[in-house]
Structure 1
Amino acid sequence: MILKSLSLLNYKNFDTINFDFDDKINCLVGNNGVGKTNILDAIYHLSFGKSYFNPITSQNIKHATDFFVIDGLYEKENREEKVLISAKRGQKKVIKRNGKVYDKFSEHIGFLPLVIISPADRDLITEGSDTRRKFIDGVISQSDNNYLLLLLKYSKTLSQRNALLKYFAANNTFDPDTLEIYNQQLHEYGEEIHLKRTDFLKTFTPIFLNRYQAISSGLEKVALTYESKLSGTDLLTLLKQNLAKDKMLQYTSVGIHKDDLSFEIEGYPIKKFGSQGQQKSFLIALKLAQFDFIKKQSKVNPILLLDDIFDKLDEKRVEHIIKLVDDQNFGQLFISDTHAERTEEVVKKISKSYKIIQLKNSPE
């Protein structure tokens, strides 16, 4: 799958701009603040219907304008596919494929497989479990549309159960029959989600470990572990065991919405004991494993975005990473960097097919 061209109108810092891309490697270079990351984010937007860095739609519209348009022309399986996203202040965002509007955004997820590697990924290590769950769910959803629907059903039922618990507290009442309906639904959806997550990690973890060994030259031992209370018992039992606690807290304290991923290096949490370089290598291995998994499931080479790839990594390790992604197993690659010469020096060693796109200064 190849992104042939991209047009932006009133998107973030851009008034109007058009790009034609190389089929293999595209390097976006220029000073900080010129919009390199914004271009990558626009490409991400076309795949997921939202920004990677700021999911609030109105904040992606250029200041003093009322709307934005992102227009991408793809080549997928020898067919041209035109995807357009538009958003107007105060109105619902619209996604079109070949001129036809999607009824549901979820129908679009997975159609344009994509993986982004960015300094913002550090949130996966530093932030709470919610960020890591979103990572798992995002990878599975790109190749399993039913999984996304399950998540939506679970989330809706969870909100309803929480509202009921608040109602009980506010009115000093309790209705076990109504609560049992929500318990059964959460159990049904939650067990299936837990099973899909477990199966996913059985496949994903060995891929991740291989990627980390390749990036780090086998110098450190890392581990990726799925943590869920559902691994020991079923959700219905957990909900009953925690009923008194949930009534007191007025929300649901157990379930797949509390699952987490544990990241370790040499048996210790990487958040506390990993260097910046080790953490960066861990995250890149995680994202390259995501690439491998999605490619295997979708039978399509995802687009790969490398945002500020030189951040906290030496050039030799960057060169090694780009070599990893430039063999025939990978598709189209987009790289952003502040130094054109540095980027070109690395890229031209490993690929004859590349394009340097120099961005000039413009106010954000």
Structure 2
Amino acid sequence: MIVAWLGIENFRNHRATKLTLNAERTLIVGPNGHGKTNLLEALALLDGSGSFRGASAETLVRSGCDRAFVRAGIQRNRRTYLVEMEITLAGRSRVQVNGQRMKSLRDLADVVSTVVFCPADLSIAAGAPSVRRELLDNVLTSIDREYRAMRLDFERVLRQRNNLLKQVGQRPDDEALMTLDVWDAQLAAVGEAIAQQRDAVCSALTSPAHDAYCQLAGSAADLRLSYTAHWRESSLSAALAQARAEDLRRGTTTVGPHRDDMTICLDGLPARTHASQGEQRSIALALRLAQHRYTAQISGIDPVILLDDVFSELDEGRAARLVGCLPPAQTVVTSATGHVPPGIEAHSQVQIRDGEVMAA
């Protein structure tokens, strides 16, 4: 797939910006803080996965405005799509494709697919479990409609269960306990299915991530991924029953897929605690490369690659090896200096200053 053009209005520090993107590589250059990453963020929003910076609508909408717009022309499987997104300060974002309103933001994944590489990816190896869960969920939601529906169902049931736990406190009556039984049964069913899917994609990513890591590191190593859910030793239903007293005391659900993790081991040791910062950075890059390879393999579509100033974080050797690992997909690169490693020279270049295009 190709993003032919991107248009944004009142998005972050951009009042009105429109870019034509090269089908191969586009380099976006400008001083730090002038809006380069904002353009990549807008591109990534088009796949329905939300801001890769974890931003809320309040921070996406330009100061003093009540809404922002992101529009793009997409070419996929010889078809052309117009994707339009309206981000409002009040209420949910609205999206449409070729003039047709979409029920769910996440269904944009049927049209747009992106993989983002950014400095914050270091947290994949070193950060909280939620970062790794998000990676697995992003892979699955980009290729599987049923998984998207499961995630929405799980979030709904979890929200209802947590609301009930908060309301009844530590002294639930019989009616509350019966309602809790209903939520437990639903949570167990959808939670087991989610964990099974995550476990499967975790296994599928292991081989390409291992291969990519060895290429990036320039030496042999043993990188392994495993899905960690201690409740799977029995069942989620049994774990929920065992944790009920604690859940009532704390007013929240303490076991389930929303607390699981993906364990990353390098040469037999947990990367989170034993890998160096350089190794953790290579692990993160390897996982993004594995994400791209697996998504392309399953969907038959090459996701757009968004590289947000990643080369400034790498030594010369790792930067060159990353270039050698990148698949032949449409790529958009940001750089404060305009300098990129040999092999990823841009076919077109855009200058950004103060949220405006200076040259294209």
- The verdict on a shared fold, with TM-score over 0.5 as the criterion, is yes
Quick check: 1:49–1:85 contact (8 Å CA) kept in 2? no
Displaced runs of 4 or more, over 6 A: none
Matches within 5 A, 1:68-83: 68-83=68-83
In 2, Cα distance between the equivalents of 1:186 and 1:360?
49
In 2, Cα distance between the equivalents of 1:282 and 1:344?
20
Q: Displacement, 1:124? A: 2.3
In 2, Cα distance between the equivalents of 1:345 and 1:34?
25
SS of 1:347 mapped into structure 2:
coil
In 1, Cα distance between the equivalents of 2:149 and 2:39?
30
Quick check: 2:126–2:280 contact (8 Å CA) kept in 1? no
User: Aligned pair 1:355/2:356, yes or no?
Assistant: no
Matches within 5 A, 1:133-282: 133-169=133-169, 173-175=173-175, 176-282=177-283
Q: Displacement, 1:121? A: 1.6
The one-character-per-residue Cα deviations of 1:9-28 (angstroms, maximum 9, x if unpaired) are: 11111111221111111111
Q: Displacement, 1:49? A: 6.0
Quick check: 1:194–1:230 contact (8 Å CA) kept in 2? no
In 2, Cα distance between the equivalents of 1:228 and 1:54?
25
In 2, Cα distance between the equivalents of 1:207 and 1:344?
23
Quick check: 2:170–2:249 contact (8 Å CA) kept in 1? no
Q: Displacement, 1:180? A: 1.8
SS of 2:340 mapped into structure 1:
helix
Quick check: 1:303–1:333 contact (8 Å CA) kept in 2? yes
Amino acid at match of 1:331: A
Give the percent of matched residue pairs that are identical in Structure 1 and Structure 2.
25
User: Aligned pair 1:336/2:334, yes or no?
Assistant: yes
SS of 1:140 mapped into structure 2:
helix
Q: Displacement, 1:122? A: 2.2
Quick check: 2:10–2:61 contact (8 Å CA) kept in 1? yes
Amino acid at match of 1:179: L
In 1, Cα distance between the equivalents of 2:233 and 2:118?
35
Rate the CA distance shift 1:229–1:15 in 2: closer, same or farther, 3 A: same
Amino acid at match of 1:343: V
User: Aligned pair 1:90/2:83, yes or no?
Assistant: no
Range moving further from structure 2, 217-226 or 230-239: 217-226
In 1, Cα distance between the equivalents of 2:181 and 2:114?
40
SS of 2:58 mapped into structure 1:
helix
2:48 equivalent in structure 1: 48
Rate the CA distance shift 1:108–1:338 in 2: closer, same or farther, 3 A: same
The one-character-per-residue Cα deviations of 1:27-64 (angstroms, maximum 9, x if unpaired) are: 11121112111111110011226322143112111112
SS of 1:108 mapped into structure 2:
helix
1:6 equivalent in structure 2: 6
Quick check: 1:26–1:357 contact (8 Å CA) kept in 2? yes
Rate the CA distance shift 1:110–1:233 in 2: closer, same or farther, 3 A: farther
Quick check: 1:49–1:95 contact (8 Å CA) kept in 2? no
In 2, Cα distance between the equivalents of 1:143 and 1:103?
17
Q: Displacement, 1:346? A: 4.5
Structure 2 residues not aligned, in runs of 5+: none
**Aligned positions, number:** 355
In 2, Cα distance between the equivalents of 1:132 and 1:315?
27
In 1, Cα distance between the equivalents of 2:165 and 2:322?
50
SS of 1:26 mapped into structure 2:
strand
Matches within 5 A, 1:31-46: 31-46=31-46
Q: Taking structure 1 as the reference length, what is the TM-score of the superposition?
A: 0.91
Quick check: 1:110–1:141 contact (8 Å CA) kept in 2? no
Q: Displacement, 1:344? A: 6.8
Quick check: 1:239–1:254 contact (8 Å CA) kept in 2? yes
Rate the CA distance shift 1:107–1:163 in 2: closer, same or farther, 3 A: same
In 2, Cα distance between the equivalents of 1:35 and 1:219?
39
1:301 equivalent in structure 2: 302
Amino acid at match of 1:229: H
Range moving further from structure 2, 69-78 or 119-128: 119-128
The one-character-per-residue Cα deviations of 1:197-226 (angstroms, maximum 9, x if unpaired) are: 122122121121111112112343332221
Quick check: 2:206–2:223 contact (8 Å CA) kept in 1? no
The one-character-per-residue Cα deviations of 1:313-340 (angstroms, maximum 9, x if unpaired) are: 12332222122215xxx31011111121
Amino acid at match of 2:344: V
In 2, Cα distance between the equivalents of 1:220 and 1:180?
47
Matches within 5 A, 1:121-136: 121-136=121-136
Structure 1 residues not aligned, in runs of 5+: none
The one-character-per-residue Cα deviations of 1:237-296 (angstroms, maximum 9, x if unpaired) are: 112222232233232222222210112223323233222221111000001100011111
Quick check: 1:9–1:70 contact (8 Å CA) kept in 2? yes
In 1, Cα distance between the equivalents of 2:90 and 2:185?
38
Q: Taking structure 2 as the reference length, what is the TM-score of the superposition?
A: 0.92
